[in-house]
Amino acid sequence: MAARGAIALFVKTPGLSPIKTRLAVKLGTDRAEQFHWQAARSTAAVIKQAEQSCELQGYYAVAEEIAATNEIWRGMSCLWQGEGGLGERMRHVYEHLIQNHDFVMLVGADIPQMTVADLQQASSWLAHEEQARFAFGPSLDGGFWLFGGNCSLLGPWWTDVEYSTADTGTQFLNAVKQWGEVQTLRVLQDVDEPSDLLVLHKALQALASPVPEQVHLMRFLYGLTPEFTTFDEGPYV
């Protein structure tokens, strides 16, 4: 029997797609890809930890069709994001999973400070079947780090939103509100620019009980060229 909820982690496969191009300008392609991989591992580890307490099943949503069977993405089931822009791909994954689960959440790989408590909060809200409900995690840059819902959401609004802008989150939230009640989660910072890495490192240091992969990511961040980072060592390095 399928778990009540599903959570899809959107990832790109190193060597098959351009990854974190703004980071790569400063850090180089290799280290930008390493960051994406480390961040994806950390986020997946949190999802795996949450699977039992939240009645969730985790999935990798891979950007490349040929990567759906790549051994790099092991530990969770894999599905292809599909063709098109971000809105089309999110709609494809969401609608595919909502057919077999009571609710679905979508997250990116660049939010590795996410916690089990965040997923528990969203899952508890979405598990109510009496009404259409959505969960929304805003990010500091104006986008969002999580979206979840407990009903099908067909329609053009997914692609009417302009993504990667300062008001993407507001556009998306305003579109969703017409379909049901929304619970807003805490604000987190995703990683697009080198300056975001310091914010991430501090957020990881503040975690009360980081998973081993989050500790490993902290060490990776501390090892980056000091020109771009000014991290304190902290208790985990």
Q: How confident is the model over 181-200, as pLDDT tens digits?
A: 999 999 999 998 888 999 99
Full-model pTM: 0.93
CATH number of 66's domain: 3.90.550.10
pLDDT at 152: 94
Q: CA 106 to CA 171: how far, in whole Å?
A: 17
**How confident is residue 130, by pLDDT bands cut at 50, 70 and 90?**
confident
Averaged pLDDT, 157-171: 93
Averaged pLDDT, 191-212: 92
Q: Residue 51: give the domain boundaries.
A: 5-222
Residue 227 maps to a domain: no
pLDDT at 1: 45
Residue 29 maps to a domain: yes
Averaged pLDDT, 97-105: 97
Angle at 224 between CA 221 and CA 138, to 5 degrees: 40
* Number of compact structural domains in the chain: 1
Are residues 76 and 150 in contact, defined by beta-carbon separation less than 8 angstroms?
Answer: no
Residue 230 maps to a domain: no
Residue 212 maps to a domain: yes
Residues 6+ apart with CB under 8 A from 28: none
Are residues 177 and 184 in contact, defined by beta-carbon separation less than 8 angstroms?
Answer: no
Question: Closest Cα to residue 131, out of 149, 146, 118?
Answer: 149
